[in-house]
Chains A and B, each alone.
Chain A
Amino acid sequence: AQSVTQLDSQVPVFEEAPVELRCNYSSSVSVYLFWYVQYPNQGLQLLLKYLSGSTLVKGINGFEAEFNKSQTSFHLRKPSVHISDTAEYFCAVRVRGSNYKLTFGKGTLLTVNP
């Protein structure tokens, strides 16, 4: 079975500061990795994904994430955040192959303050 741990439940930052949201996963098989964003009262939106190839992946809204196989991590970063980035962020894994069930972390609430 797979599991996802998001190490911080809340991350407050000031506008234009850099941010890193941490995600670690556990799996006995190879996985695909995803970050989703959920704005208040909305569904989840895919931010970025790692399937294979380059370990640094870029997503929408200036976010990027780096896959580190040895540390089983997939941390999300943004060099300069905006007020509009305030949202909940979910890390998720999916086993490669026929099983396409997503396993989600508990989420990290990013609050960007002026």
Chain B
Amino acid sequence: DARVTQTPRHKVTEMGQEVTMRCQPILGHNTVFWYRQTMMQGLELLAYFRNRAPLDDSGMPKDRFSAEMPDATLATLKIQPSEPRDSAVYFCASGLEGIPQIGQYFGPGTRLTVL
């Protein structure tokens, strides 16, 4: 049963610390998305990649957030320095471009708490 995996599932850190979240997309999928979910804003798209290339990161605060895909099996989202307002659940999703019937497969999320 193919699924998207994310680590860590939970992260508690102090303001100013660096946070790295990792995602392993489903093997063979060529698109990866990072979302942030909060009570106030709901689900927000932060960034997405196609074939490991970033296509849109307009949803990300550029000064502190960065997203990369070092290889096809790993996507990372970094926050440096972290702030309390970054506390949220961060989801990674993967899919196949040009195959809309597949939709996007979501990982279980990383719950981030910044104190």
Taking beta carbons and an 8 Å cutoff, which residues of A are in contact with B? Answer: 32, 34, 36, 41-46, 49, 51, 90, 94, 96, 100-102, 104-107
Name the B residues within 8 Å of A49 (CB-CB): 100-101, 103
B48 pairs with A101, CB closer than 8 A: yes
A34 pairs with B103, CB closer than 8 A: yes
Known contacts A90-B43, A101-B56, A107-B42; A45/B106 CB under 8 A: yes
Name the A residues within 8 Å of B100 (CB-CB): 32, 49, 51, 94, 96, 100
Some 24 contacts from A to B, beta carbons below 8 A apart, are A32-B100, A34-B103, A36-B106, A42-B108, A43-B4, A43-B93, A46-B103, A46-B104, A46-B105, A49-B103, A51-B100, A51-B101, A90-B43, A94-B100, A100-B95, A100-B97, A100-B100, A101-B56, A104-B42, A104-B43, A105-B42, A106-B42, A107-B42, A107-B43
How far is B97's CA from A36's CA once the two chains are assembled, in angstroms? 19
Task: Identify whether the interface residues of B are mostly helix, strand, loop, or mixed.
Answer: strand
Shortest Cβ distance from residue A63 to the other chain B in the assembled complex, whole angstroms: 15
How far is B4's CA from A85's CA once the two chains are assembled, in angstroms? 23
How far is B56's CA from A106's CA once the two chains are assembled, in angstroms? 22
B106 pairs with A44, CB closer than 8 A: yes
